Structure 1
Amino acid sequence: MSDLADFSAVDLVEAYRLRKLSPVEVVEAVIARIDALEPKLNALWAYDPDEARKAAKASEARWAEGEPLGAIDGAPVTIKENIATKGTPVPLGCAAVPLVPAAADAPPAARTREAGGIILAKTTMPDYGMLSSGLSSFHKLARNPWDLSASPGGSSAGAGVAAAAGYGPLHIGTDIGGSIRLPAGWCGVVGLKPSAGRIPINPAFIGRVAGPMTRTVADTALYMSVLSKPDARDTMALPYADIPWLDLARDVKGLKIGLWLEAGFGQTVSEETEQAVKQAAKLFADAGAILEPVAPFLTREMIDGLDRFWRARGWEDVSRLAPEQQAQILPYIFDWIETAKDFSGRDVYTGFTQIESMRNALHAGLTGFDFILSPTAPTPSFPAEWASPINDPQKPFEHIAFTVAANMGGQPAISINCGYAANGLPIGLQIIGQPFDDIGVLRLARAFESLRPQQRPWPKVAA
């Protein structure tokens, strides 16, 4: 039998139903996996195995009575550190943030508990979630399980690591410019940025979403059936929709799919990445989809404007801190934010308007297509100690060209593995869907799972 830590959530729930497995033995297997690998990977914070054991026993009793709480009862889960869980501080990956216990579960954590998910730990992130890296002034450096010298990406760094390493089947991150999809791509897992407002969050903000990170599309769909349930605290949430999340069958024949290989700004796509994405597109074409190229539609003005707005937003918070607190912030992040102190109102406003420009550009780019395919990131991963792929705080977003527009536009987008670089690191394929077509994106990703070659075994980190 395979290691229980590697079982999917879909398979676990079915095994619980048939009385073939107990949540207690599954949680013990995951704890053993974590205890073996975590000293090298540094994916977790607020890890509480004893509490997980208690929750597993309660789940076991519910299954024995045939009364599970919900769709993921007994499935091990991790939750990104910036998603509040009652009684646990929310440091936002930053040593300057006071450690004040959260008063209540944020919506994704609340839905997880209500459905019986067993929360093992929070997952690590970089300062304020503003890096595509596992580098943090508060947490230890998170490392990629495929290669400990490589970054897992971010800002959902620990979540990507936990999914790839097999710290249970279900993990949740957040994404405002690619923070779910980028680590999913670099860690070889599935990462869904759902439609804006599809999963209630608190606090809500323009472009910010929570979403699942798992090893399979089916597990992502299962978790969406839980996380998408309503919560009145999110003032930007979509009306609840009873979506058939687990109905993933789809014939790709006749679908019109755009192939987007040049964003319009940012890093040049590496040859390895381009070839992997083109091969993925060919698999769809061979299955009957209609593939057409998509011309670049984003501009340098768009990302530079958004960069100004995000710097100004960060400086508004950081400027209020005492000098000794400012000194605790990761230097890369502080150097980036501090430049906003001299911005004019015009600088900030014209930056903010680029959100609309980016949204309109992606909407136009999707016109005439059912979906767009692109690289998740322009290149495979980079050194773990770097803050970003080019490691320059004044050019922080060259690598998010393919991911950020879906945040600003609100469209659903998913990353799924489509190949490996010569050094063995995974390469992510991004699928962007039409507004609100979350189930369509999941179905196309599931179709790709059935079309792509057999995946390499999950990484086994050396002891």
Structure 2
Amino acid sequence: MTEAVWRLSATDLHRAYTSGKLSPVDVTRAILDRIAALNPKLNAVVHVDANGAMRAAEESAARYRNGAAYGALDGVPATIKDSLVVGGMPATWGSLLLKTNKPPVDELPVARLRQTGAVLLGKTNVPEFTVQGYTHNLLFGATGNPWNPDLTPGGSSGGAVSAVAAGFGPIALGTDGGGSTRRPAGHTGLVGLKPGTGRIARHGGFPEIYNDLEVVGLFGRSVEDVATTLCALSASDPRDRHSLSYDRAITLEDTHRHPARPRILYLPRFGGNPVEPEIVAAIDSVAETLRRAGCVVETRALPFDIDAATAALATLMPTGLAMIVDRLGGPERITPALQAMYETGKGITGAAYLAALNHAVVLRAQMAKFFRDWDAILTPAAAAQPWAKDKVYPEMIDGREAGPRAHAIYTGWVNLAGLPGLGLPADLDGNGMPIGFQLIGGYGRDAMLLALGRRYEKQAPWADRWPPGFD
């Protein structure tokens, strides 16, 4: 059975381990073999810890034999984005400035995943300092999309999504500072969860580059796998004050509960910003599917100022980059495109930075008021479909010139607002590439979003849809 174990979900693997039909050792070995054979086509995984993975798999197998498995993720292979710290593995953040960095201790979310018994396979590729929407750096090069290896999987969690989409483990940890779970998940046909601020406590990793906007994100091929992973990681920790907003960890039962008739605001376009018509058509179909599933889906005016939110993000991101680069020794060895962003960040005043933070406070209050009457917002995940993997961003969207963040117009404001967002697969486009959408919920409504995702998944299942050449 080892020739097809890479197709199995985390949930299926746990069942097979419990019944004795499969062993974590055989599954881990099979997936490591698959990475060795197919990763050269994608460059998704930039460090493989085969020895550590096999040791963890053997320990997991012993627990199953003794009836002492830790839980639903015990023995499940997983990859970790290279902007997260895994003890004993390189942590480069995609930068030559950190080429030799190898921290000895896991950061908190990684430690919690390890404590579940999950098998940590290795690290996945990122753009340098995770500040771009594609996945390329001077240290490891570009990552391709399994659905078309010449195209990007997006970013900054491009390596993470390419790994899951190619069968290099059923789950992955990433990060999301402006859409880096939801857009890449959409580009590769996966489920990607950006939890609300503080829902996954953080400590012991790299410095915060986006203040509290960046969170740990989760990837899988099904809502169940993502929900299971969130449950394992969602306990609060006093070292992360944001996490103390939540009185308890999420349970799987929580992720099955949603309003009987969820009220969803559908926003196919953000003002005059361009979006590819094929994407809008696919999300129109999603809206109809949700209506058939018993949801109330309406289209009204945008409930916040997208231009103000975009301006705030354009202040916070370059400033954070400048802070990190200065701390590590200067901009001489960073990606050329980032050097311009660095100079922009150096020129931003403290007053402008504080104004951007203040806008986040205003936006969060606005959205709290909005979600008194609505359960979710539905939008595309991205305004453009995947483009050439070595190109920073699509310069044209729907026949119009587009800037570096035009493809990301739908996602960054969610980070600024601190809200949870769930990326899900829609239909394939005319070129056979996945199209993604996102559902955004009120603060603290992460579990409800997953329940809503389950409701959609029942109407439009996708887990058996694999990219050609990787199926």
| TM-score of Structure 1 vs Structure 2, range by shorter chain | over 0.9
Cα distance, 1:89–1:367 mapped onto 2, change above 3 Å: same
1:304-343 mapped onto 2 (5 Å cutoff):
304-319=311-326, 322=329, 326-343=331-348
1:13-28 mapped onto 2 (5 Å cutoff):
13-28=14-29
The answer (yes or no) to whether the contact 2:234–2:250 under 8 Å persists in 1 is no
Cα distance, 1:112–1:342 mapped onto 2, change above 3 Å: closer
Kindly state the Cα deviation for residue 249 of structure 1 after the two structures are TM-superposed.
Answer: 4.0
2:183 is matched with 182
Kindly state the Cα deviation for residue 220 of structure 1 after the two structures are TM-superposed.
Answer: 0.4
Stretch moving more, 249-258 or 311-320: 249-258
Answering whether residue 466 of structure 2 is matched by residue 458 of structure 1, we say yes
1:147 is matched with 148
Kindly state the Cα deviation for residue 405 of structure 1 after the two structures are TM-superposed.
Answer: 1.9
Answering whether residue 107 of structure 2 is matched by residue 106 of structure 1, we say yes
Question: What is the rounded CA distance, in whole Å, between the counterparts of 1:77 and 1:375 in structure 2?
Answer: 27
The answer (yes or no) to whether the contact 2:221–2:463 under 8 Å persists in 1 is no
Amino acid paired to 1:337: Y
The answer (yes or no) to whether the contact 1:9–1:72 under 8 Å persists in 2 is yes
1:300 is matched with 307
For 1:386, what is the secondary structure of its paired residue?
coil
For 2:378, what is the secondary structure of its paired residue?
strand
Kindly state the Cα deviation for residue 396 of structure 1 after the two structures are TM-superposed.
Answer: 3.0
Q: Deviations over 1:252-309 (max 9, x none)?
A: 75221110112247x4121111011110110111222211113123332331232122
Which of 215, 219, 233 aligns to 2:239? It is 233
Kindly state the Cα deviation for residue 406 of structure 1 after the two structures are TM-superposed.
Answer: 1.8
The answer (yes or no) to whether the contact 1:359–1:405 under 8 Å persists in 2 is no
Amino acid paired to 2:241: T
The answer (yes or no) to whether the contact 2:167–2:470 under 8 Å persists in 1 is no
Matched positions, count: 459
Cα distance, 1:110–1:144 mapped onto 2, change above 3 Å: same
The answer (yes or no) to whether the contact 1:366–1:372 under 8 Å persists in 2 is no
1:227-306 mapped onto 2 (5 Å cutoff):
227-238=233-244, 239-246=246-253, 248-249=255-256, 254-264=261-271, 267-296=273-302, 297-306=304-313
Stretch moving more, 349-358 or 61-70: 349-358
2:389 is matched with 384
Amino acid paired to 2:159: G
Amino acid paired to 2:178: G
The answer (yes or no) to whether the contact 1:263–1:298 under 8 Å persists in 2 is no
2:444 is matched with 436
2:92 is matched with 91
Question: What is the rounded CA distance, in whole Å, between the counterparts of 2:50 and 2:161 in structure 1?
Answer: 20
1:68 is matched with 69
Kindly state the Cα deviation for residue 461 of structure 1 after the two structures are TM-superposed.
Answer: 3.2
The answer (yes or no) to whether the contact 2:43–2:142 under 8 Å persists in 1 is yes
Question: What is the rounded CA distance, in whole Å, between the counterparts of 2:312 and 2:368 in structure 1?
Answer: 19
Kindly state the Cα deviation for residue 388 of structure 1 after the two structures are TM-superposed.
Answer: 2.3
Kindly state the Cα deviation for residue 247 of structure 1 after the two structures are TM-superposed.
Answer: 5.5
TM-score (norm 2): 0.91
Kindly state the Cα deviation for residue 218 of structure 1 after the two structures are TM-superposed.
Answer: 0.4
Kindly state the Cα deviation for residue 416 of structure 1 after the two structures are TM-superposed.
Answer: 0.5
For 2:407, what is the secondary structure of its paired residue?
coil
Stretch moving more, 119-128 or 226-235: 226-235
TM-score (norm 1): 0.93
Cα distance, 1:158–1:115 mapped onto 2, change above 3 Å: same
Question: What is the rounded CA distance, in whole Å, between the counterparts of 1:17 and 1:248 in structure 2?
Answer: 23
Stretch moving more, 246-255 or 92-101: 246-255
Q: Deviations over 1:418-451 (max 9, x none)?
A: 1111111111110111211111100111111111
Cα distance, 1:441–1:54 mapped onto 2, change above 3 Å: same
